[in-house]
Amino acid sequence: MTTQAIDKDALRRKYLEERNKRLRPDGNAQYLEVKGAFAHYLKDPYTPVTVREPRTDHVTFAFIGGGFGGLATAARLVEAGVSDVRIIEKGGDFGGTWYWNRYPGAQCDTASMVYMPLLEETGHRPSEKYAHAPEILAHCQRIGKHFGLYEHALFHTQVTSLIWDEAASRWHVRTDRGDAFTAQYIGLGTGPLHIPKLPGIPGIESFKGHAFHTSRWDYGYTGGNPMGAPLHKLADKRVGIIGTGATAVQCVPHLARAAGSLFVFQRTPSSIDVRNNAPIDPEWFASIATPGWQQRWLENFTANQAGGNAEVDLVQDGWTDLSRRIREQIGQLPPESRTVPRMLAAYEDADFLKMEEIRARVDQVVTDTDTAAHLKAWYRQLCKRPCFHDDYLQAFNRPNVQLVDTNGKGVEHITPTGVVVAGKDYPLDCLIYASGFEVGTPLARRTGFDPIGRGGRALSEYWAQGMRSKHGMHVHGFPNAFFVQPTQGANLISNVPHNLTEAARTIAILVKHARSHGFKQIEVTEDAEQQWVQLLLNSPGRMTNSPDCTPGYYNNEGQDPGPAAKSYVGYPAGAFAYFKYLDAWRESGAFEGIAFS
């Protein structure tokens, strides 16, 4: 297909119409915080909590969060000679996202070869192009064991306060398990999507059947296991699932195979592109896994995906395909007419073509034409998390599966016995919430603490007008604290772990430098932070996260996110350029903008 065959104005009108249908005045406030009568939804179903004595000692480095960020940072610190790195984690083991999300079918969306950190260091060969969750969780545990991180870790522990002690050049850390210890350095890697949220549907508290959130999957009720064993206890059950985002797309096929009846309550369809998963051939892997292989793959993925100029595409997935298409459209423009508006138009063309393909695929796969029509996504591909699956659409061809489309309005009511949509009652035994995670809520509400830096200043106060940092990692007034996350750094969303592993490398080098020179404090200067923020804010706007998109957590549910949101950006020249810049910044040894004292 070519863009000539597309009525672009009609599509733009359709996108707008579908978006407007979904806009609601309550925005983020439509969701329920999981507490009070719902607090049991947060309980860890996987690991019993063990009793332990509170810690009142001192460690060199305390890292909050035992996901990829904490694991990678701790691993690099151990390599740099720091032997007492304490990871504090609210789950019962390492893994972060992969600890909690054990729903059937959970799988990484970015190719394992670049998604799973420290593969080379731990000698692991991923079993599949897109590994399933149990393998990723096991890999997290492998990193923990390989680098000896279990010895100092505190699980089932949530930090409640972090206070900088200027006189002692250390942080005071307190937790909900009574710990009160100190750390010379802290790392924060609490992740963006870890507090489950519930849809604020009237009557939700009245449901008397069985209910749980996808991030706390109840295998005791459903039968089966995270490895994909059939959910055999659902054979005589009427099961409902609310939500059709990336999580639902992965677990619906499993529910469809097992449940007596499955009702998928949809507000907005996801775009479902081809997955094409495949096992990784050990011989092929051995042939490419020569020293430095993972770094080469990471750089190649980022070069293809985010602003580099790679000649080959090693990873070849949905992300690099998307970027290739955009480049090809732009490449068709004569060089002299590559103005910003024309390049944006070429990008839109590539998107129209891709989404037409994705919509055509629904018709090819789904036999019932009405169901197929309702499964089509009417927005630009990056307005919501793009999904890739080869069994999701197919599930709707089963006689026991019914799509209940709510025409953008969402579920109307929940009653003690089921769900009501458009006045029709759907009696259910079990209701599963695939309703996502808190994103737009205040950071301190999500982390459970508000770091207090130099002079008693709270981070929430320092960032009240917007995030301020250098590299997204160093914040003036918060010495010896490192923020491990993508924003104000590479902001590479297609492969989040790459942001984290680069931060890990940087932190280890800085800490090693400070230790070998006898410095007690590491802090970005006010000027350097200001210059970095200016560099980011003066860059032209990004093409994604548009307010024109259909509402979702990517665009603050379609509402004005306020002035602070303009600071949630990445390096203007893109992720590839950022990683090159960061590498040079680190390797120079001058660490420009950082003061050691």
- Give me the residues that bind ligand NDP (CB under 6 A), please: 22, 107-109, 193, 199, 201, 242-248, 250, 265, 267-268, 385, 406, 410-411, 434-437, 552-553
Distance CA 402, CA 266 (A): 11
Dist CA 402 CA 400 (whole Å): 7
Q: Which residues pair with 154 in a beta bridge?
A: 88
Cα 546 from chain centroid (whole Å):
18
Radius of gyration of the chain from Cα atoms? 24
Name beta bridge partners: 564: none
Nearest distance from C-beta of residue 264 to ligand NDP, angstroms:
10
Strands 522-524, 594-596: pairing is antiparallel
Structure tokens at 319: 């992300």
Cβ atoms of 346 and 334 closer than 8 Å = no
Q: Give the nearest distance from C-beta 561 to ligand NDP in angstroms.
A: 16
Contact 215, 100 (CB under 8 A): yes
> Looking at beta carbons only, is 72 or 131 nearer to ligand NDP?
131
- Residue 267 contacts residue 22 (beta carbons within 8 Å): yes
Write down the least CB distance from residue 434 to ligand NDP, Å: 5
CB of 98 vs ligand NDP, minimal distance in Å: 10
Tell me how far, at minimum, the Cβ of 130 lies from ligand NDP, in Å: 8
Question: CA nearest 307: which of 542, 72, 548, 585?
Answer: 542
Which residues, including other chains, have CB under 8 Å from residue 287's CB and lie 6 or more apart? none
CA distance 442 to 72: 26
CA distance linking residue 519 with residue 241, whole number of Å: 54
| Nearest distance from C-beta of residue 371 to ligand NDP, angstroms | 17
CB of 106 vs ligand NDP, minimal distance in Å:
7
Neighbours of 123 (CB within 10 A): 10
Q: Where do runs of H (alpha helix) occur along 314-409?
A: 318-331, 340-365, 369-374, 392-395
Q: Which amino acid is at 434?
A: A
* CA distance linking residue 506 with residue 493, whole number of Å: 19
Q: Please enumerate in sequence order all residues whose Cβ is within 8 A of that of 299, keeping only pairs 6 or more positions apart, or say none.
A: 308, 576, 579
Parallel, antiparallel, or unpaired: how do β-strands 430-433 and 418-421 relate? unpaired
Shortest Cβ distance from residue 493 to ligand NDP (Å)? 8
Whole-angstrom distance, CA of residue 560 vs CA of residue 547: 8
- Minimum distance between the CB of residue 61 and ligand NDP, rounded to whole angstroms? 28
| Beta carbon of residue 100, minimum distance to ligand NDP (angstroms, whole number) | 11
Q: Which amino acid is present at 148?
A: G
347 close to 329: Cβ distance less than 8 angstroms = yes
Q: Work out whether the CA dihedral 364, 370, 374, 375 comes out positive or negative.
A: negative
Residue 139 or residue 170: which is nearer to ligand NDP going by CB?
A: 139
Smallest distance from the beta carbon of 171 to ligand NDP, in angstroms? 30
Beta-carbon contacts of residue 42 (< 8 Å; ≥ 6 apart): 34, 196, 216
* Residue 224 φ/ψ, nearest 5 degrees: 80, -170
* Closest distance of CB 581 from ligand NDP, Å: 26
Task: Report angle CA 541, 327, 321 to the nearest 5 degrees.
Answer: 105
- What is the C-alpha to C-alpha distance for residues 2 and 128, in angstroms, rounded to an integer? 34
Least distance CB 407 / ligand NDP (angstroms):
11
CA-based nearest residue to 495, from 439, 380, 576: 576
How near is the Cβ of 244 to ligand NDP at its closest, in Å? Answer: 4
Half-sphere exposure at residue 355, Cβ-oriented, CA atoms within 13 angstroms: 26
Side-chain half-sphere CA neighbours of 254 within 13 A: 27
Q: How many CA atoms lie within 13 A of 581 on its CB side?
A: 15
Q: How far is the CB of 138 from ligand NDP (least distance, A)?
A: 16
